[in-house]
Copies of this chain bind each other. A is one copy, B any other.
């Protein structure tokens, strides 16, 4: 039976998911997608994701691939799946890829966005996708601190403690702040990210924004290679996996 390798771009509202990765008896993106696909194609399916997202984290452009003998025309995959999936998981695109194409190994970079609602009281329409920060933030120091993070650094201070990864050097291409009214978005683009890295960057930039930390302290925090030197891990609901890059 000839197998086809299918790439999917998916978006999800992470609120009601226990993260991306399959876990027994829990509602996860990978688990739900797998069981839905298996119901359509009639054989077992293994889903490879570009990377995991934690419970409560959203995705606009998560990428997965899977191999199937199904003859569903490639352009029909989004509609076939969206008809069966619940409304908090939406397939945005499908593409036929070479047999050896791998959503994780072939990813060359990722963009995450951390969104902050600066309204005095919660914006009811953004409440599930933003971290609500009602206190005033000074944006220019946050931008200055963001610039200090760009480049190739050991990000041990910006990685959840006890993460079983030995090499914590990563290359951050950009950390940008976009203001749109009361919405503040921290855009992080890099070759790869450590566990909780964007949420710790967001928490640290928030400390800078409220004057608890100076932008000048960022190089020292990086150099310390100690998680306790950076800010708190900002809440999951503000984080969205925005885009995965492939060459």
Contact = CB atoms under 8 A, between A and B. Distances in A.
A232 B209 CA distance: 49
A87 B127 contact: yes
A170 B79 CA distance: 42
Interface of A: 11-13, 58, 60, 78-79, 82, 87-92, 119-125, 127, 129
Most buried by B among A90, A120, A124, A127: A124
A12 to B, nearest CB: 6
B13 A125 contact: yes
A11 B91 contact: no
Contact of A92 (B79, B121, B127): B121
A167 to B, nearest CB: 34
A9 to B, nearest CB: 10
A92 B122 CA distance: 8
10 contacts: A11-B124, A13-B125, A58-B124, A79-B121, A82-B122, A88-B127, A89-B124, A91-B121, A92-B119, A125-B129
A121 B121 CA distance: 31
A89 B127 CA distance: 11
Contact of A121 (B58, B78, B125, B127): B78
A242 to B, nearest CB: 11
Contact of A90 (B91, B122, B129): B122
